[in-house]
Amino acid sequence: MDRVLDLIRKEEKRQKETLMLIPSENYSSKAVRAAVGSVLSHKYSEGYPKKRYYQGNKIVDEIEQIGINRAKKLFGVPHANVQPYSGSPANAAVLFALVSPGEPIMGMQLAAGGHLTHGQPNITFSGKYFKSVQFGVDEKGLIDYDEVGKLAKKEKPRLLIIGPTAYPLKFDWKRFDEIADSVGAWLVADIAHVAGLIIAGVYPSPAKFAHVITTTTHKTLRGPRGAIIMVTKKGLSRDSDLAVKIDRAVFPGLQGGPHDNQTAGIAIALDEASTPGFKKYGRQIIKNARFLSKELIQGGLRLVGGVTETHLMLIDLRSKKLAGNVVAEALEVAGIVVNRNSVPNDTMPPFYPSGIRLGSPAVTTRGMKEFEMKKIAGWILEIINYVKNYKLPKDPKRRISFMKEYKQKIGGDKFLINIAKKVKELCKEFPVS
């Protein structure tokens, strides 16, 4: 067998036997995976349905149109483009469609819970090609809408691009709409993380407030990797050409041929998301995350923003004087997979941040509920306590060797491996398709 196929099998086993707590990950259905692995990846379809530059697209036209129709219906918007390769190119296309290089845009800082593509300065296209104005959060880790409003009045951005990547409370889209309106800016709502929650009715929809909505399709939405850009009624009433501008910015502006296999996977995921079962899954995601966050707080951890209102939580490890890396590595040995993450006003660099981020979508897909969250919280608390004496060196030069030695030491640690066995048992009770 090809080495790569063998590695894919190993990865499948890893995903089955460990707890996927990274809030942006999920298990897609067999139908979605069949579409992604189908012959559709052989086809070239530059253009849009019925306006292609290649022959042989009758079937692809139908598939893409089904995807578009389903997206419009589910999110309640008049226009959808299902071609963006992923969330970052979707945001790039929107920015290129609506703002000229050098013009000011506004977004939430990465460390405050925003995304790289929302104007992270210096290292991203969004911070390099536009004049990026960024807002943060207060000491509790919460958005101060008055402050955001004042900053917008001062900097007069042409566009606001906002959406949570590591922000545990619900966004007030109306307040953002008022802020954007007060300076005549476009409002782009990036619902990549919360799209599935919006469909399930457990997170507010920005459809009435934003001009444009972008989303990835592989997080709470549980589809293949990919993205959708939507134009709202409000967007079309501001500019009747908005849909055309967005479509042109995707193709030919930024991309060539769409990934038709991905488009088919998105169409299938959108159908799956229209079922009562999906709503139930969305409600349970929130219940699970809420329960897990309460247990962790009761166990003595500090969570940014307190008990979560969404699918994710951010543990601030500064009070424990622990680095996110140290905790994340130990959790992984125990079969609990999270990601290290900056916390608001973090003084540590992003590679050695002071927090870890975790969420409930994937374990909810497996069917886990509050009872299992209690077990998971217990393990996390035990592990954080177990590694409490492993302090990252203050001297940045010593950090790489410290982490190397630490990983070697905990790699075969009996205590952690014992938890990994219990995790595996739990995972067996909740198989994935």
Q: Is 165 in the site for ligand PLP (CB under 6 A)?
A: yes
Min dist. Cβ of residue 13 to ligand PLP (A): 24
Q: Is 43 in the site for ligand PLP (CB under 6 A)?
A: no
Active-site option among 52, 70, 158, 219? 219
Q: Is 115 in the site for ligand PLP (CB under 6 A)?
A: yes
User: Which residues are paired to 263 by β-bridges?
Assistant: none
**Out of 64, 177, 190, 247, which residue is the one contacting ligand PLP (CB under 6 A)?**
190
> What's the token pair of residue 411?
């790699």
- Other CB atoms within 10 Å distance of the CB of residue 402: 17
* Beta-strand relationship, 19-20 and 336-337: parallel
Active-site option among 33, 225, 279, 369? 225
> What's the token pair of residue 417?
């491996």
Q: Is 87 in the site for ligand PLP (CB under 6 A)?
A: yes
Active-site option among 18, 124, 177, 190? 190
Q: Is 310 in the site for ligand PLP (CB under 6 A)?
A: no
Which C-beta is closer to ligand PLP: that of 115 or that of 158? 115
CB 278 within 8 A of CB 200: yes
| In the complex, residue closest to ligand PLP by CB | 87
Based on the residue annotation, tell me whether 347 is a catalytic residue of this protein.
no
Based on the residue annotation, tell me whether 232 is a catalytic residue of this protein.
no
Based on the residue annotation, tell me whether 44 is a catalytic residue of this protein.
yes
**Out of 117, 132, 262, 354, which residue is the one contacting ligand PLP (CB under 6 A)?**
117
Based on the residue annotation, tell me whether 234 is a catalytic residue of this protein.
no
Based on the residue annotation, tell me whether 46 is a catalytic residue of this protein.
yes
Which C-beta is closer to ligand PLP: that of 221 or that of 368? 221
Based on the residue annotation, tell me whether 146 is a catalytic residue of this protein.
no
Min dist. Cβ of residue 295 to ligand PLP (A): 25
Nearest Cα neighbor of 351 from 362, 340, 343 is: 340
Q: Is 346 in the site for ligand PLP (CB under 6 A)?
A: no
- Residues 9-38, one symbol each (x = binds ligand PLP by CB under 6 A, - = not), give ---------------x--------------
**Out of 29, 38, 65, 86, which residue is the one contacting ligand PLP (CB under 6 A)?**
86
Q: Which stretch binds ligand PLP (CB under 6 A): 82-90, 94-102, 137-145, 304-312?
A: 82-90
Q: Is 192 in the site for ligand PLP (CB under 6 A)?
A: yes
Q: Which stretch binds ligand PLP (CB under 6 A): 175-183, 188-196, 233-241, 290-298?
A: 188-196
> What's the token pair of residue 304?
């940014």
Min dist. Cβ of residue 299 to ligand PLP (A): 27
CB 148 within 8 A of CB 179: yes
Q: Which stretch binds ligand PLP (CB under 6 A): 37-45, 174-182, 189-197, 240-248?
A: 189-197
Query: What span, in angstroms and rounded, lies between the C-alpha atoms of 197 and 107?
Result: 22
CB 138 within 8 A of CB 113: no
Which C-beta is closer to ligand PLP: that of 57 or that of 120? 120
**Under rule CB under 6 A, which residues in 202-241 are in contact with ligand PLP?**
216
Which C-beta is closer to ligand PLP: that of 188 or that of 322? 188
Active-site option among 16, 17, 25, 46? 46
Q: Which stretch binds ligand PLP (CB under 6 A): 102-110, 186-194, 260-268, 399-407?
A: 186-194
List, by residue number, the catalytic residues: 44, 46, 190, 216, 219, 225
Q: Which residues bind ligand PLP (CB under 6 A)?
A: 24, 86-88, 91, 115, 117, 163, 165, 190, 192-193, 216
